[in-house]
Amino acid sequence: MPRFFLTGAGADMFWRPEVIEKVMDMATQRTHLMPADYKPIVAYIGAATYDLHPAREKQTSKFVERGCELVKIDLVLLPTCLESETEDKSVPFSIRARNTKNDPEYRKKIDGLHASIFETYKKQIMAADIIVISGGNTLFAMDRMIKSGIDETMREKAALEDGAIFCGGSAGFITFFDSGHSDSMEVLTYLNSKVGVHESESQRKQVDEFMKDKFPGALGANISKEQQSVWEFVRIEGLRLLPGFGIPHADTICSNDNVSVRTAAFQKMFEQLNDGGKGGTERGVCLDHYCGLVIDGSVFEEWPLPGNFPGSTVVSKFGGRVLLEDGEKKKVYSCAGFGDEADLEHCVYSSERKGRPGCWIRDYDDNGVLTIFPLPKKGLTKDLYRSGREVGEPEKLAKCRQQNPDCWD
């Protein structure tokens, strides 16, 4: 069965030596049969942060320091000209990419070049020991993986069960599940804004004018203060390698209101998706910012980042499984109803992060009753997984794609 090391945060976890040590230790089950001078291959998919160097450097540099070979799977910052030509970098990337459509015959050649690049990527992914999907804009990353065919390659790689490790935090965490709770509508995560940080003020103005003229519903490179806080969370469908609904950064405060905890925002979303309490929706896997979730075939392990890091899990001493809250539409338990006794920590949830990092399950049953409990320290994945009834948000997805259009469409 496929193997995963997933985290609540992306960039804030994959630069830490403890995280890299854990992933490398897992990878030895595959690499110990290789020659002594073998360098483990790390394939990094950075589409969620538009293949930008700073995000890639932060999430992969520790792997390189450990002697790994880094393979960059760039799905966004692709060539805007043929190999015999030189990129005109005085023109902003967003405009260069879109200008390739001005000449249909030329665009066919560009598309052919990209198709060749994607075929190389697929071979590299199939050979990789560790695959890392970055945090960032989940929807944009998923759209780019689908358009390039990398989504199917990831499923083929998982089906091999060759011991490779799939890694990701934040958006990367979401992408491996059926779906997840995403901030892909946060405008500061949009392509023009992110790429524009690395371009000049005059180039950003060019992008603003270009988008206003050609894509009236899209946002440019310069985002106003008012626009920065006016956005909603949205359900994004992932690669479906893991049954369930991923909620990353579960213990942190949402940046669109600076009040709500991420799990509360998830519950609000699912109350709406439950359509008046019908229930039976996907199981919410709520992973704290500084927590990891190890899935090694048929078993899982909750992995709090070593050290004094805050989280939502306050360990308490109860005799047996205790019903901490017994409401008509909400029931909270001190531990899970599955797993070995030695792995069942009795816990109280802290929305103020007064405990350690942890993972909590939030389920809406067929009657619309929300059940909450902490994940055992270890257990069987068959007890963790549950897909449930899926309810999409097509209007939100359409708005997000309109505001943050793919530069290659």
Segment 354-364, tens digit of pLDDT: 999 999 999 88
Residues contacting 123, CB < 8 A, separation 6+: none
Q: Is the dihedral of CA 314, 316, 320, 325 positive or negative?
A: negative
Q: CA angle, 114 as apex, 110 and 117 as ends, to 5°?
A: 145
As a whole number of angstroms, the distance between CA 378 and CA 373 comes to: 14
Q: Which residue has the higher pLDDT, 227 or 143?
A: 143
What is the average pLDDT across 39-43? 96
| Pairing mode, strands 291-296 and 370-374 | unpaired
182 vs 74: CA distance, rounded Å: 22
CB atoms within 10 A of CB 186: 22
Which is more confidently placed, 260 or 60?
60
**What gap in Å lies between CA 140 and CA 192, rounded to an integer?**
12
Distance from C-alpha of 289 to C-alpha of 258, rounded to nearest angstrom: 16
Which tens digits make up the pLDDT trace of 175-185?
999 999 999 99
- For residues 279 and 364, is the Cβ–Cβ distance under 8 A? yes
pLDDT of 386 over the 90 cut: no
Question: What average pLDDT does the segment 109-130 reach?
Answer: 98
Q: Determine how many CB atoms are found less than 10 A away from the CB of residue 36.
A: 4
Predicted confidence (pLDDT) per residue in 230-251, tens digit: 899 999 999 999 999 999 999 9
Provide the pLDDT for residue 388: 81
**Residue 30: predicted pLDDT:** 81
Rounded to 5 degrees, what angle do the CA atoms 22, 27, 33 make? 145
| SS3 category, 389 | strand
Q: Mean pLDDT, the chain, as a whole number?
A: 94
β-pair type (378-380, 299-304): antiparallel
Distance between CA atoms of 21 and 97, rounded to whole angstroms? 39
Domains and CATH numbers, the chain: 3-308+380-403 (3.40.50.880)
Q: pLDDT-based confidence at 146, cuts 50/70/90?
A: very high
pLDDT over 90 (residue 224)? no
pTM score, whole prediction:
0.95
Confidence of residue 278 (pLDDT cuts 50, 70, 90): low
Interval 199-214: pLDDT, tens: 999 999 999 999 999 9
Q: Give me the mean pLDDT over the 76-82 stretch.
A: 97
pLDDT at 391: 81
The answer on pLDDT for 399 being more than 70 is yes
d(CA 9, CA 289): 5
Closest of 226, 247, 275 to residue 180, by C-alpha: 247
Of residues 113 and 277, more confidence is placed in 113
> Is the pLDDT at 276 greater than 70, yes or no?
no
Altogether, the residues listed in the chain come to a count of 409
**274 has a pLDDT exceeding 80:** no
Of 95, 101, 172, 104, nearest in space to 140 by CA: 172
Structure tokens belonging to residue 254: 């949402």
For the chain, give the percent of residues with pLDDT over 90. 82
CA atoms of 295 and 216, how far apart (whole Å): 44
Q: Which of 168, 188, 171, 193 is nearest to 180 (CA)?
A: 171
Q: Cα separation of 286 and 374, whole Å?
A: 9
Number of H helices, E strands in the chain: 13, 18
Digit-coded pLDDT (tens) for 299-336: 999 999 999 999 999 998 877 789 999 999 899 999 99
